[in-house]
Amino acid sequence: MSAKILDGKALAARLQTEMAEQVQTWIPQVGRPPGLAVLRVGEDPASAAYVRGKERACERVGMASFGQHFSAEAPPSQLLDTILRLNQDERVDGILVQLPLPPGWDPIPPLLAIEPDKDVDGLHPMNLGRLLRGEPGLQSCTPLGVMRLLQTEGIPLSGKQAVVVGRSILVGKPLSLMLLAADATVTLAHSRTPDLADVTRRADIVVMAVGKPNLLSADMVKPGAVVIDVGINRTLTPDGSSQLVGDVCYEEVKEVAAAITPVPGGVGPMTVTMLLHNTLESYRLRNRRGNGCSL
């Protein structure tokens, strides 16, 4: 029996509709919509496509977009100056630097420059520290999207064995902390993990986030496990065209797993939606403090 398909695209559309209604409720009291600034450096086509998708999502929910594009030849100080200005801009509730930056650009200074309460990507050390301590704060969008998808689908986490493959600061590490907070027993595996198949076969929940096409095969999955595929890889087909695939051998693993996310249409749409969610949360919190809104 094939696995249940966890449709992140459908859930994202529903959540965005709900957010659009909430935005319209807040605007008359605040006097402006929520604002998001996505900052892109260089000409990477994938980054450009991701930014366009985020800007279109802003439009759908009624948020203002303050994005800017910088040349890869621009001095890094230009990006830092823009971030500092946006920190002080009352129209802007969220700031995101689109990663990866071009070669030669250090991502750490711009990420540190973002005001933590406007850090809607959840990558500032203060927000990562809040996550580690179990305190309220803005959380990384992709892990947050995975958790929202699991919770909405009613997939139990408490007491379950969860394996996260990939230890990046963007996905693997924060997601492991979120799963721990949900009372799962978490193993964080990576490229140096010996006998990865033995580790994943013991898991009730497997999350793949390594960026290696079709790494997880059916013989690496316990029957009835839940498989979450965060990977997005562009590969060539025999006819020379390209296609997007995940880190999971989808067609074979779906015959073993109880539930699985597709690529595309699984985690990706949830990442963008959680970016909007974080922007809206920042907007609400800032205006509750500043304007005494009651909502």
User: Any binding-site annotation on 166?
Assistant: yes
Cα–Cα dist 120/141, whole Å: 8
Q: Is the pLDDT of residue 289 over 90?
A: no
Q: Is the pLDDT of residue 294 over 50?
A: no
Are both 151 and 259 inside the same structural domain? yes
Q: Which of 54, 160, 173, 254 is catalytic?
A: 54
- Has 54 been annotated as catalytic? yes
User: Any binding-site annotation on 241?
Assistant: no
Are both 96 and 176 inside the same structural domain? no
- Determine the structural domain holding residue 37 and report its residue range: 31-115
Domain membership of residue 61 (yes or no) is: yes
pLDDT on residue 139:
97
What token pair was written down for 170? 């963007």
Are both 195 and 256 inside the same structural domain? yes
Are both 69 and 164 inside the same structural domain? no
Are both 146 and 257 inside the same structural domain? yes
Domain membership of residue 24 (yes or no) is: no
Average pLDDT over residues 255-269: 97
In CATH, what number is assigned to the domain containing residue 110? 3.40.50.10860
Q: Predicted confidence band at 295 (pLDDT cuts at 50, 70, 90)?
A: very low
In CATH, what number is assigned to the domain containing residue 154? 3.40.50.720
Are both 56 and 154 inside the same structural domain? no
Are both 226 and 148 inside the same structural domain? yes
- Has 183 been annotated as catalytic? no
Q: Is the pLDDT of residue 90 over 60?
A: yes
Domain membership of residue 174 (yes or no) is: yes
CB atoms under 10 Å from CB of 222, counted, come to 19
Model pTM? 0.94
Q: Which of 16, 93, 98, 139 is catalytic?
A: 98
Q: What is the mean pLDDT of the chain?
A: 95
Are both 145 and 261 inside the same structural domain? yes
Q: Which of 93, 117, 119, 121 is catalytic?
A: 121
Domain end, chosen from 80, 115, 150, is at 115
Cα–Cα dist 241/104, whole Å: 31
* Top-confidence residue, 294 or 36: 36
SS (H, E, C) the chain: CCCEECCHHHHHHHHHHHHHHHHHHHHHHHCCCCEEEEEEECCCHHHHHHHHHHHHHHHHHCCEECCEEECCCCCHHHHHHHHHHHHHCCCCCEEEECCCCCCCCCCHHHHHHCCHHHECCCCCHHHHHHHHHCCCCCCCHHHHHHHHHHHHCCCCCCCCEEEEECCCCCCHHHHHHHHHHCCCEEEEECCCCCCHHHHHCCCCEEEECCCCCCCECHHHCCCCCEEEECCCEEEECCCCCEEEECCECHHHHCCCCCEECCCCCCHHHHHHHHHHHHHHHHHHHHHHHHHCCCC
Are both 104 and 204 inside the same structural domain? no
Q: Is the pLDDT of residue 46 over 90?
A: no
Average pLDDT over residues 2-28: 97
Are both 111 and 146 inside the same structural domain? no
User: Any binding-site annotation on 95?
Assistant: no
In the chain, the number of structural domains is 2
Are both 199 and 253 inside the same structural domain? yes
Domain membership of residue 276 (yes or no) is: no
Domain membership of residue 83 (yes or no) is: yes
pLDDT on residue 243:
87
Domain membership of residue 222 (yes or no) is: yes
Domain membership of residue 77 (yes or no) is: yes
Domain membership of residue 22 (yes or no) is: no
- Has 119 been annotated as catalytic? no
